[in-house]
Amino acid sequence: MVDTYTYAYPQLVRDNPRSFATVTDPNVRVAVIGAGFAGAAAVYELRRAGIQNITVYEAREKLGGRADSRYFHDNQGRRYINEMGPMRVPENSKLFWHYLSQLQDADEPQLIFPNPGVVATQIVYRGLRYTWKDEAPQPTDPENPRHVDWEKLQQDIGRFVDSLTFNGDNVGTIAELLQKETLTLIEQGRIHAYWSHFLKQFDDVSFVGALEQFFGDEWGPTEYNMFSTLGVGTGGFGPLFPVCFLELFRLFLWDYQNEYMPSLPMAEIVERLLTLDPAAGQSDDRLSILTETVDYVGLSRHNDNEVDVYSIQPQGETNGLVHRAYDYVIVATPLRSMQIRMNLDAETPPRSYAENSAPVFGGEVNNMVRESLRIPHIMNSSKLFGFLPNKPWNESSWPHHEGDPVKVVLTDTLARQMYFLDPYPDDPTAGTNVLISYNWGDDSVKIMGIQDYDRSQIIDPRSNPDYALKLAYEFGLETMITPSPVADSLKQITLENQNRDLTSVIWQREPMIFGAFKLDYPKQYFYTSQMVYQYHYANAEHPEQSKRVYIAGNNCSYQGGWIEGALQSAVNASAAVLKHLSDQGLATDFRMQELFEPNPFQNVLEDLKAQYILPTAA
């Protein structure tokens, strides 16, 4: 990732088999709060360094966090995996593929994800149908009466991306440099100059604002609506229009095009990594995993070397509050959970904890981290999956593109993105699971209202919320275009099978999650940087007690919404714990010092700092 290009994560983690350090006291007490990808990777690295006394807190009843894998089964016992959270991984997610290789043979084949254009794709736009694969979408309907020119739209976006030049470099040349695992000083200088320039230029510019700056009057409502449907070939970019353009710019530079469906379910990857004994290479049950909700994390007022964790423990018909003390705590939860449940943004502790515990990020020295936990934008997101016992492309009416059956549908209706996942492509007797719709932002907010219909507001009161939502998508497609084989395929999901053949998630409604992933709005880059580099508290210049708590998770990265960001943050946080132990003489052979070199774009933050810094107390 361009923001952290100087930190050689692949070489430090993947290419060096040694642990980050060797702990001389294996009974150092560490709590990891949150059992998602970040928490699991942090636990793995701490265990690899020799720490044995680790407690994991998970508020939800199952491990994985947003790595939530659910399953359909057909009458032959075949399993169909529905990834409610992350579902595709770019080829250049080098930390992810490294950690997966600890769980299975590195040569295990991975299926390409059926992204739009990778497989035959249909666009339903303003009542007309278009199909495409690889090249620009082509009209299915005769004479294309509304003059929708998808090829020109893609050419326009290409011109826009090509315009992002500075000092002789462009998106393509910088993306090529970022693919290299060893950079010369000159190459590092080119990346630094290029990204520093655009960080300043686009810090306060939204995605749609950047498009407006470039296209001016050349684009009108038609082009923006088309782009809202198609995106850059991935669909659904309309809800991203308000976010800071830097978030999309990073993806252009990351070159994330080749994406895969891992051969293991996401939740299983997290659970196996979490319970893996690195020395033995197999899972064990020695890790303490508590299904308890953490209510507060504070610094002990009685022992400068301890962190207090207060958790809610079910006790029959009532709940009890349990206090435990640790030497270190890594908080690897979604950002809103850090704020809403654990009060990490508190300047003073809640009254019930004030006598014994001080706030983790209290005082002026911590005010920007504290402020940053409150501000970055969290994107809403929802998914509805269904199971079709018969592959719909076996029907003669099913749309095709040059002989290939359509397996992705993008629309400007309520059902924005549909993916027919076809996990058994060579078995004509198998069915398919379908991601009926993947919605973001305002589109996802609409879903909550549909699922909350009262029984008196739906035609058949036997409908569960998922079935009511399925009908809404089905009706939207039917009323937009006739005939609609795609809408007809959803009729395989019946009222009688609704509980078996439908499953959904609305992430902003999920307790302890409070939203899907972080995507900064304009003027939020500075705040995200405070969270990304909070692990630098382990450096000598920071107050000693502040070196006991570190935050992690994809929300604490520049890759919000991507597993790679969560894993980078886990490496950072676990390395910070081990660095402090090394500085205390409790660990040897610490080898991750490179991660504690200054942020390569500190110069940009210094230039922006005056706009964001909070006034100090008189």
pLDDT given at position 139? 57
pLDDT given at position 232? 66
pLDDT given at position 140? 61
The radius of gyration computed from the CA coordinates of the chain, to the nearest angstrom, equals 25
pLDDT given at position 363? 82
pLDDT given at position 26? 86
Whether residue 435 contacts residue 441, with contact meaning beta carbons closer than 8 Å, is answered with: no
pLDDT given at position 142? 52
Domains of the chain (ranges, CATH numbers): 2-65+266-375+517-612 (3.50.50.60), 112-162+207-242+381-514 (3.90.660.60)
Which phi and psi angles does 19 have, rounded to 5°? -65, 160
Report strand pairing: 357-359 vs 293-300: antiparallel
Which tens digits make up the pLDDT trace of 554-565?
999 999 889 999
pTM of the full structure = 0.95
Distance CA 179, CA 90 (A): 13
For residue 280, the 8-state DSSP code is T
Where residue 146 falls among pLDDT bands split at 50, 70, 90? low
In 316-452, where do the E strands start and end? 318-326, 328-331, 357-359, 378-379, 381-388, 400-401, 404-405, 408-411, 417-420, 432-440
Q: In the predicted model, is pLDDT for residue 82 greater than 70?
A: yes
Instruction: Give the residue ranges of DSSP H helices in 263-366.
Output: 266-274, 335-340
Whether residue 33 contacts residue 297, with contact meaning beta carbons closer than 8 Å, is answered with: yes
Whether residue 269 contacts residue 150, with contact meaning beta carbons closer than 8 Å, is answered with: no
Two tokens at 47?
Answer: 């265990």
Q: In the predicted model, is pLDDT for residue 617 greater than 70?
A: no
For residue 110, the 8-state DSSP code is -
In 231-280, where do the E strands start and end? 259-261, 276-277
Tell the burial category of 292 from Cβ atoms under 10 Å away from its Cβ (0-12, 13-18, 19+).
buried
Best CA proximity match to 561, nearest among 37, 166, 187, 22: 37
Mean pLDDT of the region 537-547 = 82
pLDDT given at position 44? 97
Where residue 42 falls among pLDDT bands split at 50, 70, 90? very high
In 557-610, where do the E strands start and end? 587-588
Q: In the predicted model, is pLDDT for residue 230 greater than 80?
A: no
Q: In the predicted model, is pLDDT for residue 317 greater than 80?
A: no
Q: In the predicted model, is pLDDT for residue 147 greater than 70?
A: no
Mean pLDDT of the region 37-50 = 97
Which tens digits make up the pLDDT trace of 344-399?
998 899 999 999 999 999 887 788 888 899 999 999 999 999 999 999 999 999 99
pLDDT given at position 133? 86
Out of 306-310, 447-451, 485-489, 572-576, pick the least confident.
447-451
Write out 515-572 in H/E/C secondary structure.
Answer: CCEECCCCCCHHHHHHHHHHHHHHCCCCCHHHHHEEECCHHHCCCCCCHHHHHHHHHH
Mean pLDDT of the region 82-105 = 93
Distance CA 267, CA 281 (A): 19
Residue 193 backbone class (left: φ over 0; alpha: ψ -120 to 50; beta: rest): alpha
Distance CA 481, CA 469 (A): 19
Mean pLDDT of the region 480-485 = 84
Distance CA 550, CA 542 (A): 13
Which phi and psi angles does 432 have, rounded to 5°? -150, 145
Instruction: Give the residue ranges of DSSP H helices in 293-351.
Output: 335-340
pLDDT given at position 455? 80
Two tokens at 271?
Answer: 């659970």
Mean pLDDT of the region 141-157 = 73
Which tens digits make up the pLDDT trace of 395-449?
999 999 989 999 999 988 888 899 999 999 999 999 999 999 998 888 888 888 8
Whether residue 41 contacts residue 566, with contact meaning beta carbons closer than 8 Å, is answered with: yes
Write out 292-305 in H/E/C secondary structure.
Answer: CEEEEEEEECCCCC
Q: In the predicted model, is pLDDT for residue 235 greater than 70?
A: no
pLDDT given at position 499? 95
Cα separations (Å) of 530 from 325, 367, 491, 599, 613? 26, 10, 49, 11, 11
Classified as helix, coil or strand, 412 is coil
| pLDDT more than 70, % of the chain | 97
Out of 39-43, 95-99, 105-109, pick the least confident.
105-109
pLDDT given at position 303? 94
**pLDDT mean across residues, the chain:** 91
